[in-house]
Amino acid sequence: MQVTRKQERLVRQALDEWQQSGEISEQEHQQLRSTLHRIPFDWKRLSRYAFWIAMVCLIIAAGSIFSDSALVYYLIELFSVSEIMRVISPALIASALYFWGFKRQRKEIQWHYSTEFILFLGVMFTAIFLWQLGELLDTGSGHIAPLFLIGCAIYGSIGFISRSSLVWLFFLLMLGNWFGAETGYMSGWGAYWLGMNYPIRFVFFGAVLLAGCYFLQNVLVHRRLFTMTKIMGLTYLFIALWIMSIFGNYDPDTWYRTSSVNLLPWALLFGVASVICIYISLKTDDGMLRGFGLTFLGINLYTRFFEYFWDSLHSAIFFFILAVSLILIGRKAEKIWHTVENNTFTGKPSKNE
C-alpha cells in the first residue's frame, strides 16, 4: 500500500497499539507492516498547491489588469469590435472551457486538479461576461442584483453538475453578493432593510444557508458539495455575528454615539453562538464546528478586551482572569470526562446520561 510519511507513521502507531493490546499477533503485525510502502515524494500535494497558487496568481493578474483603465480599454477594443461581441465572446469562451472540463472529467478522472483549473478559467470568463452584460444593460438604476442572480444560476448549475467544490464556492459567494445587493436596492441603499442593518441580515442569511445545508445533506454529500456549503454557511454566520458584536443594529452615524454597554447583548449573542457550536462539536465529534467555535470565541474575547478593558485594565490582569476561568471550565470538563470513562469500564450509567 502506497502511503505518505504521515500516513505511514499513523498506521505503524495503530499496528503497534493493536499488537500490544493483543488484537493482532506478532506475525500479523510484521506482515501488515511489510505491506506499507512510503511514497518518496507527495506529488499529489505538490499538484494541488501548484494549481492553487496558479489560481491566486490569475486572480491577482486580473485585479492588476482591471485597475489599469488604459489597459482595460485596450483589451476591450482588441477583444471585440462591438458591444454585443464583448458579451458574447467571453460567454462562448466560458462555455467552451466548461465543456472541456466536463469532457475531461468524464474521460480522465485521474486529472482532478487540472480539470478544476480549467473550470476555474471558465469561472473567470463568466465573470467577464457578467461584467460586460452589466455594462450593456446598464440603465443607471443601480439594480445589479439580477446580474449576481444570473451568476448564481451559472455557477450553481456548473458546480452541481461537475461536483466541483471550487465552482460551488463561487456560487455561494455570488449568492451572498446577490442577497446583499438585492436587500440594499430594496432599502434604497440605506442602512436598514426590514429594520435590519447588513450584519443582522447576513446572520440570518448564514443561518438559513447552514440550515439548508443540513436539510439537503444527502444530496450535497452525493455531489461532494456538503463540506463547502457548511464552511460558507458558518463563515457567513460567524463573521456577521462578529461585526454585529461591534456595531450592533446601528447605522454608522448612530454607532459613534452608542455606549459599549448597549452593544453588550450582541457580544453575548456572539459568545453564546460560539459556545453552542463548540458544544455540538463535542457531542458529534465535528472538527469543523469545533474549529469555528474556538476560533470565533477567541476573536470575541480579544475584541471585547480591546473594546472594554484596553484603557482601564492591564492586559496581564485581563488574561489572568480569563485563564483562571478557562482552567475552572477545563477542570469541570475533566471531572465529567473521568466520570464517564470510569462508568464506561464499570458498566454504570453516568449522571449525564
pLDDT in tens, 209-260: 999 998 998 999 988 889 899 999 999 999 998 888 887 777 766 666 666 6
Give me the mean pLDDT over the 318-338 stretch: 65
In degrees, to the nearest 5, what angle opens at C-alpha 92 toward C-alphas 88 and 97? 150
318: nearest Cα among 296, 302, 339: 302
- Number of neighbours of residue 321 by Cβ within 10 angstroms: 12
Higher pLDDT, 3 or 125: 125
Based on C-alpha coordinates, what's the Rg of the chain? 26
- Say if residues 278 and 297 touch (Cβ distance below 8 Å): yes
pLDDT band for 345, please (50, 70, 90 cuts): very low
Percentage of the chain modeled with pLDDT above 70: 63
Report the pLDDT value the prediction gives residue 150, as an integer from 0 to 100: 92
Give me the mean pLDDT over the 46-58 stretch: 61
pLDDT tops 70 at residue 61: no
C-alpha distances in Å from residue 227, one per residue of 100, 233, 261: 26, 10, 37
Pick the range with the lowest mean pLDDT from 24-38, 84-98, 225-239: 24-38
pLDDT band for 46, please (50, 70, 90 cuts): low
295: nearest Cα among 206, 251, 345, 231: 231
Instruction: Please list the alpha-helical segments (H only) found in 187-314.
Output: 198-215, 217-222, 226-247, 252-255, 260-284, 287-304
Give me the mean pLDDT over the 48-55 stretch: 61
Q: What is the pTM of this model?
A: 0.69
Question: What is the C-alpha to C-alpha distance for residues 23 and 12, in angstroms, rounded to an integer?
Answer: 14
- Say if residues 63 and 53 touch (Cβ distance below 8 Å): no
Q: Across 75-140, where does the E strand assignment appear?
A: none
pLDDT tops 90 at residue 152: yes
Give me the mean pLDDT over the 66-86 stretch: 64
- Say if residues 216 and 222 touch (Cβ distance below 8 Å): no
Paired with 3 in beta bridges are: 38
Cell of 316: 496581564
pLDDT band for 114, please (50, 70, 90 cuts): confident
Q: Could you give the angle at which helices 43-67 and 69-79 cross, rounded to 10 degrees? A: 100
Residues 6+ apart with CB under 8 A from 212: 229, 233
Residues 6+ apart with CB under 8 A from 124: 58, 62
Top mean pLDDT of 79-88, 107-116, 281-290 is at: 281-290
Question: What is the C-alpha to C-alpha distance for residues 82 and 98, in angstroms, rounded to an integer?
Answer: 25
Residues 6+ apart with CB under 8 A from 39: 2, 3, 4, 5
DSSP secondary structure of 161-220: HHT-HHHHHHHHHHHHHHHHHHHHHHTTT-S-BTTB-HHHHHHHHHHHHHHHHHHTHHHH
Q: Across the chain, where does the E strand assignment appear?
A: 2-3, 37-38
Percentage of the chain modeled with pLDDT above 90: 12
Helix (H) or strand (E) holding 51: helix 43-67
Q: Diameter of the chain by CA atoms?
A: 82
